[in-house]
A and B are shown apart, each in its own frame.
Chain A
Amino acid sequence: MARVVVDVMLKPEILDPQGKAVHGALPRLGFDGITGVRQGKRFELELDGALTSARLAEIHEIAEKLLSNPVIEDFEVHVAEVEA
């Protein structure tokens, strides 16, 4: 059993209107001093069996093929939990 997290973020040069809208709401709520907000996506993948390097490579493939669009997004893979 393992849990692997894939974080997907818009590339820095891509405009993020949702992040901008969230940022715009902060001063209205009385929160100052936040200079920017970028919104992304977090995927948690539950794995059956041991986390081998081959499985991890497969998750990179999933992240690249489906979870992110490499034209506009970057992704990072973290191993969150490994149960021996």
Chain B
Amino acid sequence: MRIGVVTFPGSLDDVDASRAVGLAGAEAVPLWHGDHDLRGVDAVVLPGGFSYGDYLRCGAISRFSPVMTEVVAAAGRGMPVLGICNGFQVLCESHLLPGALIRNDHQRFICRDQRLRIENNLTPWTTGYAQDVEITVVLKNGEGSYVADGRTLDRLEGEGRVVARYVGVNPNGSLRDIAGITNERGNVVGLMPHPEHAVEDLTGPGTDGLRFFTSVLAAALV
């Protein structure tokens, strides 16, 4: 399986995301923001970082990059897409996911090992997790506070589209402790914490994040 990892100017975690894809047993295919095709990949990861310097709003300018036109079209055809941190912001700005990410309520950048509960294990990125299992991955963000109007939040919860929720501490003021959501179809997932930083014992708080990447591999083999 070939998983594309997009690099925007200012992307930070594209290399770690590619490494996680490789550790999961798939081939990571580097994609550039200026690309007009997805090079035949089976899934796409939009990594964390500060694309276009977070100018205007996080993800606002990336949304209009040529590769995103292709990602939006592929997502519409059902291709699995995972946006992590800045990638989540890009997905919201692209209207592939509802809501928006705003500055942390406490104003500070936060970096910590974060406990999460996986509340939807039906997406191609989460099938490897047991329903409601708690995992620990890295969280690092300055603008990670998930907001949406009450009706949208009720709908997300009612349709089981909250993929992950913060447990113990709400690190950024996200409404209803939401850490990650999915679209109606379930193929597009946005996640503020970083599973790609929790795939090896040497460099992370454990390997709880690896299943995001092995899940999509298993989903493709079905």
Interchain CB contact (< 8 A) of A21 among B57, B98, B107, B149: B107
Interchain CA distance A51-B13 in the complex, whole Å: 44
Closest to B145 in A: A15
**How many A residues touch B, CB cutoff 8 Å?**
13
**Do B107 and A69 have beta carbons less than 8 Å apart?**
no
Q: Which residues of B contact A18 (CB under 8 A)?
A: 103, 107
Contact with A along B76-93 (1 / 0, CB 8 A): 000000000000000011
Interchain CA distance A29-B98 in the complex, whole Å: 40
**Do A14 and B56 have beta carbons less than 8 Å apart?**
no
- A13 CB, nearest partner CB in chain B, Å: 8
Interface residues on B, range: 20 to 34
Interchain CA distance A67-B99 in the complex, whole Å: 17
- B111 CB, nearest partner CB in chain A, Å: 18
Contact with A along B150-179 (1 / 0, CB 8 A): 000000000000000000000001000000
Interchain CB contact (< 8 A) of A69 among B60, B103, B106, B149: B60
Closest to B150 in A: A13
**Do B56 and A71 have beta carbons less than 8 Å apart?**
no
Interchain CA distance A67-B100 in the complex, whole Å: 15
The 5 closest A-B pairs by CB, nearest first: A71-B100, A72-B100, A17-B107, A17-B103, A21-B107
